[in-house]
Amino acid sequence: MADQLALDEVVTFTSDLIRMDTTNRGGGDCQERPAAEYAAARLAEAGLEPVMLERTPGRTNVVARLEGTDPSADALLVHGHLDVVPAEPADWSVHPFSGEIRDGVVWGRGAVDMKNMDAMILSVVRSWAREGVRPRRDVVIAFTADEEDSAADGAGFLADRHPHLFEGCTEGVSESGAYTFHDGQGRQFYPIGAGERGTGWMRLTARGRAGHGSKVNRENAVTRLAAALTRIGEHEWPLRLTPTVRAALTEIAAAYGIETDLSDVDALLEKLGGAAKLVEATVRNSSNPTMLDAGYKVNVIPGEAVAHVDGRFLPDTEEEFRATMDRLTGPDVDWTFSHHEIALQAPVDSPTFARMREAVQAFAPEAHTVPYCMSGGTDAKQFARLGITGYGFAPLKLPEGFDYQALFHGVDERVPVEALQFGVQVLDRFLRSA
C-alpha cells in the first residue's frame, strides 16, 4: 500500500503542476520546461537519475529508469505528458492555472489530462524509495512535451532520437483508461485502454474553372468541394469490429446480463444504454468535415477550394479508409493526409492486462473493468515505433456527476482529491505486481 505521505503528495503535485502554465497552442507555442524541472527534481529526491531532453529549447522531456529485481524481465514504460490544451479564464469558475483546492477538489487545466497521472507516478515512485520497494521489471518513467500537438518535440522525438532510453520496454501505460464511467443506471465501469483508432487528418483541394459569378459554370470548385464534403460527412461507414471492441461489447453486455449478439451490433448498442458510449465511436471509422476555405469575393468563382476533414480509422482498416476517401472525393477533388498516425491494437488477454484489472478491482470491487478502444490517439502511437504495446491506464475513481469525457479538454476541468488518492493506490498495486 502507498503510505499517507504519497496520498498527500499526489494532491500537492497535481496542484503545483497545474500552476505551471504549459498550454500547448500548437505550432511550437508551448514551454514545458518548468513542469519538467519540477518532475525531475521530485524524481531525483527519490534517488533516481532523470535525464532532461529537448529538441527545441523549452520543450523539455524527462526520462528515468528504476531498476527492477529481475534483469531478465521485459521493462515497462510509464509515461505522462506535461503539456495541456488551452483554457480561456473568462469561461471558468476558477482560474484554470490556479491549481486551487476547494471542498476536496483540485481545479485547473490538466487536472484529468493529465497532470493527475504525472503526480500519481511521482508519488508512487517516491513512496517506493521511502519503503525500499523495487519492482520486478525495470520501470522506465517518461514525462513528455508536445502530446497535445504533433509530439514532434515530445514522444516522437524521444522515440526517434533516444530509443536507447527505452531499451527492453515491451509495454507501456499512460492516459485515458481506468477512470470511473457511470452508466446513469447505477452501474460503474472502469474501461482500460487496449487500442486506439488511427488519425487521418486530411486536406481536400477542389479545382475548377475560375470566372464571373453571373455566368454559367459547371466546373465550380466550391460546388465540387461542397458535394464531396456532403458525401464524406454523410457517409455511413460499415461496422468493423476489432478484437478489443468485440471484447468490450461482450464484457459490457455481460455486466447487464445481456447475451452478446454481434450479428446486430446497432441493436446491441441500444440495449447497452449509457454504456454504449464506451464503444459506439469505435465500431466504425469516421470522417467529419471541420474546416472550409474558398473564395475572396461574392461575384468571383474561385479556381480552387480547400477543406479539412478529421478522419479516424480502426486497426487494420487503413487501406479501406483510403480507398473510401478516393471514392467519396471523386475525380475533381484531391486529398492528402496533413497529419497521419497509426492505429493501435493491444491484447486484452495479456498478463499485464489481467494485472491492471486486478489492481482496479482490489479498490473498486463493485465495478466492472472492461477493455475499450480509444476513439482518438495518445503518445502511445509514438512509442509503438519502438515495439511498445500501449495501454490506457491512469486510474481515477470519479463520483457520479463527474463526466470524465466532458472534463477532458473541457471548461472547469477538476479532479476530486479522493480520485487522485484512489489512483495512487491502484497504480502502486499494479506497478508492484507488474
9, 32, 138, 147: which is the annotated catalytic residue? 147
Q: How far is the CB of 59 from Zn ion (least distance, A)?
A: 16
Annotate each residue in 74-113 with x if it binds Zn ion (CB under 5 A) or - if it does not, as one string: ---------------------------------------x
Size of the site for Zn ion (CB under 5 A): 3
Q: Which of 146/175 has CB closer to Zn ion?
A: 175
What Å distances lie between residue 234 and 3, 217, 229, 288, 379, CA to CA? Answer: 54, 26, 8, 9, 30
196 in contact with Zn ion (CB under 5 A)? no
Does residue 183 carry a catalytic annotation? no
Query: Which C-beta is closer to Zn ion: that of 114 or that of 426?
Result: 114
Residue of 32, 83, 251, 428 marked catalytic: 83
Nearer to Zn ion, 147 or 428 (CB): 147
138 is a catalytic site residue: no
> Does 120 sit near Zn ion (CB under 5 A)?
no
Task: Kindly report whether the peptide bond that precedes residue 356 is cis, defined as omega within 30 degrees of 0.
Answer: no
Nearest-approach distance from CB 343 to Zn ion, in angstroms: 18
Exposure on the CB side of residue 76, measured as CA atoms within 13 A = 22
Residue 17, interface with Zn ion (CB under 5 A)?
no
Q: Which of 114, 192, 247, 305 binds Zn ion (CB under 5 A)?
A: 114
Q: How far is the CB of 33 from Zn ion (least distance, A)?
A: 19
Nearer of residues 154 and 302 to Zn ion, judged by Cβ = 154
Tell which one of 175, 183, 413, 428 touches Zn ion (CB under 5 A). 175
Q: Which is nearer to Zn ion, 9 or 175 (CB)?
A: 175
- Minimum CB distance to Zn ion, residue 175 (Å): 5
Least distance in angstroms from the C-beta of 9 to Zn ion: 22
Q: How far is the CB of 138 from Zn ion (least distance, A)?
A: 25
Cβ proximity to Zn ion, 157 vs 335, nearer residue: 157
Residue with cell 475525380: 331
Q: Which residues does the annotation mark as catalytic?
A: 83, 147
Q: Which residues bind Zn ion (CB under 5 A)?
A: 113-114, 175
